[in-house]
């Protein structure tokens, strides 16, 4: 995999009008190199599906439900139109005290011959710590900026979907939610982000109204409230995959 520096990517995106200078300044505040997907040999416009999964300590009672749900989500994505065309890229992040990248943007194969991590194979999910949601979303937006710039440099039109599954508010800070909102809304207005959904596993500390406030604070398009019941947690992953697949249908 080749890599692109965030500063280089954002300069390119400002120059072609994809991002404002304000959004670019936010993204380059913590510049780094990002591994980018190889889009040079595609025959169909790619969709990049991004999933952020809460791994904070409060998720520990539901560990196996999350593992099962994530595995089901990947299997559903393998049946999608874009996947069968070899044009579906998946990235997965776990977030607790910090963000953990399960794997960078990787082509999902319909027959399973890929490097996309399925959490029921191996020791990948171990809930502990706090909820660094804002830092994790910021990290994702940096990864997205690098891959958008790389696709444009290859004359490829890319679109993105974002699905977040969490059972609580951010409690780590470090990034202002307004910065995230501004970047997301710019990319949504350009049609680059086709779908953004926060699926909240609501509880006594995280109500449906708090979830909706979080959606608005971050500029997401949709919030879905579910309980922490085992079936509902698995349903969260089904809904996340459906959101990505629905966007693929619009983009096919």
pLDDT in tens, 161-215: 999 999 999 999 999 999 999 999 999 999 999 999 999 999 999 999 999 999 9
Across the range 1-29, mean pLDDT stands at 96
| Burial zone of 50 (CB within 10 Å; 0-12 exposed, 13-18 middle, 19+ buried) | buried
Residue 245 lies inside a defined structural domain of this protein: no
Residue 129 lies inside a defined structural domain of this protein: yes
Output the CA–CA distances (angstroms, integers) from residue 7 to 25, 32, 61, 103, 118, in the order listed: 9, 8, 41, 22, 32
- Per-residue confidence band for 249, with pLDDT thresholds at 50, 70 and 90: low
| Burial zone of 185 (CB within 10 Å; 0-12 exposed, 13-18 middle, 19+ buried) | middle
> Which tokens hold the place of 44?
């169909």
Across the range 43-59, mean pLDDT stands at 96
Mean pLDDT of the chain, nearest integer: 95
Residue 248 has pLDDT above 70, yes or no: no
Residue 44 lies inside a defined structural domain of this protein: no
Residue 140 lies inside a defined structural domain of this protein: yes
Residue 232 lies inside a defined structural domain of this protein: no
Across the range 62-86, mean pLDDT stands at 96
Residue 1 lies inside a defined structural domain of this protein: no
Domain count for the chain, please give it.
1
Residue 11 lies inside a defined structural domain of this protein: no
- Per-residue confidence band for 250, with pLDDT thresholds at 50, 70 and 90: low
Q: How many alpha carbons fall within 13 Å on the CB side of residue 135?
A: 18
Residue 26 lies inside a defined structural domain of this protein: no
Residue 71 CB coordination number (10 Å): 17
Structural domain range at position 129: 86-199+217-225
| Residue 70 backbone class (left: φ over 0; alpha: ψ -120 to 50; beta: rest) | alpha
């Amino acid at each position: 995999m080749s890599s692109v520096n965030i500063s280089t990517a954002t300069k390119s995106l400002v120059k072609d009008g994809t991002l404002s200078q304000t959004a670019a300044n936010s993204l380059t505040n913590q510049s780094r190199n990002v591994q980018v997907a190889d889009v040079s040999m595609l025959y169909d416009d790619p969709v990049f599906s991004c999933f952020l999964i809460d791994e904070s300590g409060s998720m520990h009672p539901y560990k196996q439900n999350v593992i099962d749900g994530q595995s089901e989500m990947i299997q559903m994505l393998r049946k999608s139109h874009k996947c069968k065309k070899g044009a579906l890229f998946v990235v997965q992040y776990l977030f607790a005290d910090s963000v953990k990248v399960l794997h960078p943007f990787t082509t999902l194969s319909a027959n399973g011959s890929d490097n996309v991590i399925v959490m029921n194979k191996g020791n990948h999910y171990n809930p502990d710590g706090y909820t660094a949601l804002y830092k994790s979303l910021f990290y994702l937006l940096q990864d997205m900026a690098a891959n958008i710039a790389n696709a444009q440099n290859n004359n490829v039109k890319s679109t993105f979907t974002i699905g977040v599954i969490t059972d609580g508010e951010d409690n780590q800070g470090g990034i202002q939610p307004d910065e995230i909102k501004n970047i997301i809304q710019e990319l949504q207005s350009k049609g680059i982000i086709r779908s953004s959904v926060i699926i909240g596993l609501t509880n006594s500390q995280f109500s449906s109204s708090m979830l909706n406030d979080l959606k608005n604070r971050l500029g997401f398009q949709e919030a879905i409230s579910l309980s922490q019941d085992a079936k509902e947690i698995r349903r969260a992953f089904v809904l996340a995959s459906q959101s990505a697949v629905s966007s693929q249908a619009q983009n096919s």
